[in-house]
Structure 1
Amino acid sequence: MVRPARTRVPVVVHGHPARRHPARRHPLARLLWYAAEATLTLGLVLLLLVVHQLWWTNRQARAAAESKVDSLEREWGEGEGEGEADRRGPSRGAGAVDDRGAPGGDTTAPPARDTPARNSPARNTPTLGDPARPTPDHAYAVLRIPRLGLRVPVAAGVSKGGVLNKGYVGHYPRTAQPGRPGNFALAGHRNTHGEPFRHLDRLRPGDRMTVGTRDAVYTYTVDKTLDRTSPRDGGVIAPVPRSAVRPGHGYDRAGYYVTLTTCTPAYTSKYRLVVWGKLTAMRPR
């Protein structure tokens, strides 16, 4: 006996087949879902920004700074003698004192060539003429700090776009040129964009640094540090550097100084870290 096939009869509601509708979410649940999606998207965007700032900008700036140093040394006809060990080390900040110093006279004589500096004006006299003042944002010198494995271009000015964000160290306007009487004052990023002054806090009295230009190589020796001061402490880059915020920090007589400034603590720009040094030797090219 063959049984007839079963057929389903659709249920008709008001003349239309009935359909099952998924359960609708409560408005509050939908709102929480959208908020979670927005938060996740925002988190991913912020993560990409952090990666860009902390990794990509450093990578680009360091490569550009290294290339500029090589270009300057080829232009000066310098071989791979001086600073070759430094070149293999890592290059490692933002900060700048807002006020500007001005170069001034000095009764202390410059150091003799490749000899320690002397304080007697009668013993030594200048051996090099005043260098031509570089144009703004133009790299014209190379700073080397062996303890930090640092080899970085020095450019005129401390603008972010033109100098600091390129991974360069900036020379404060109206401060002395390298090897000249007064205060040769520099600024560099501590974090992002090459961060050349990332480990500036590791410098100690007695550490040496050199500043090479087309005409000469100047050796400065770290003498003092100021671990924290205001971003507007213009005294630290004055011709005779002395903090206007932290009494007792700095100098009280003219000389041949170098000043390095950067932000502190790391990843902030609340204060400034300052390192001072004195010119101790010079070698014409």
Structure 2
Amino acid sequence: MRGRGRERVPVVVQARSGRHGLARVLWIAAETVVTCGVLILLLVVHQLWWTNQQARAEAGEQVARLEREWDISPPVVESSASPSTAASASPSAVPSVSASASASASAAPSRASAPSVSPPPSGAAFAVLRIPRIGLTVPVAQGISKSKVLDKGYVGHYPGTAAPGRPGNVALAGHRNTHGEPFRYVNRLRKGDEIVLRTREGTYTYRVDQILPFTSPRDTGVIQPVPRSIVKPSYGYSRAGSYLTLTTCTPEFTSRYRLIVWATLRR
């Protein structure tokens, strides 16, 4: 009889209501959306700000390194010396020009005296590009590889195009946005603006005289020795000369078209 008095009362556990379950699902969904938003924001900050800071710092150091080296080491150029003298030079070396002409950053060799040099290895910085109109100073490296050149904040020199100061077309490419974005404001250039290329051999000044606002990425005519658009033939040149071509993507933050700036060598 006493055992019956101690019988336990059964406990009934109620299941959560459908409303509570829905609230839980919505909370998890909201957390996921916020997390994704933060990740996207961080990615945008990385692409638009951090890559620029890194690339600009590296590019600035490279410019200082190049110019310091050039100021210490005199340039070497091709010479008309006797065969015996030329034979004694190393394969990569050519006789030097006068020290006074090489030491000055503002030296201006004539077109005829521009030295003949071997192309630098891929990815190697060999020149400094200055565009006063947009306040740009940036190293120029051989090739247009993203990882080796463009994403480092450098301007790339199209392989097979002319060397600075030489007849033909010196064709250069650079990012419009992110990774230093050296060509961000090339759309602000106007006819008559100066573009300066400095190498170990000398300083060459070009003057802007044509701008092609947009063309196809496949318009290879713009970087030919005598540059002329094959998409818009009214833009370009018809005579041999010493040209400089800047190419970049347009509109900003897209790669749909290419913006082209052409300049000719003045001194």
The TM-score, its normalising length taken from structure 1, stands at 0.75
Taking the aligned partners of 1:186 and 1:274, their CA distance within structure 2 comes to 10
Give 2:87's aligned residue. none
2:226 pairs with 1:232: no
Q: Secondary structure at the match of 2:48?
A: helix
2:112 pairs with 1:126: yes
Give 1:70's aligned residue. 64
Q: Secondary structure at the match of 1:77?
A: helix
Q: Give 1:40's match in structure 2, choosing from 34, 40, 43.
A: 34
The residue identity in structure 1 corresponding to 2:213 is: D
> How far 1:131 sits from its partner (Å)?
1.4
* Matched-pair identity in %: 59
> How far 1:18 sits from its partner (Å)?
6.7
Give 2:122's aligned residue. 136
Deviates more, 1:15-24 or 1:146-155: 15-24
The TM-score, its normalising length taken from structure 2, stands at 0.80
Q: CA contact under 8 A between 2:108 and 2:202: conserved in structure 1?
A: no
Q: C-alpha deviations, 1:102-153, integer Å up to 9, x for none?
A: xxxxxxxxxxx849xxxxxxxx872133112100000000000001100000
Q: C-alpha deviations, 1:184-225, integer Å up to 9, x for none?
A: 000000100000000000000100011000010000000100
Q: Secondary structure at the match of 1:130?
A: coil
> Where does structure 2 lack aligned partners over 5 or more consecutive residues?
1-6, 73-106
Map of 1:24-173 to 2, 5 A cutoff? 25=19, 27-77=21-71, 114=108, 126-173=112-159
Q: C-alpha deviations, 1:225-271, integer Å up to 9, x for none?
A: 00010011000001110001112011111110000000100111110
Taking the aligned partners of 2:55 and 2:20, their CA distance within structure 1 comes to 51
> How far 1:37 sits from its partner (Å)?
1.7
Q: C-alpha deviations, 1:10-56, integer Å up to 9, x for none?
A: xxx96256778875535544433322221111111000000000000
Task: Label 1:125 to 1:271 Cα distance change in 2 as closer, same or farther (>3 A).
Answer: closer
Task: Label 1:40 to 1:14 Cα distance change in 2 as closer, same or farther (>3 A).
Answer: farther
Q: Secondary structure at the match of 2:266?
A: strand
Give 1:197's aligned residue. 183
Taking the aligned partners of 1:193 and 1:206, their CA distance within structure 2 comes to 28
> Where does structure 1 lack aligned partners over 5 or more consecutive residues?
1-12, 79-112, 116-123
Q: CA contact under 8 A between 2:217 and 2:257: conserved in structure 1?
A: yes
Structure number with higher relative contact order (C-alpha < 8 Å, ≥ 6 residues apart): 1
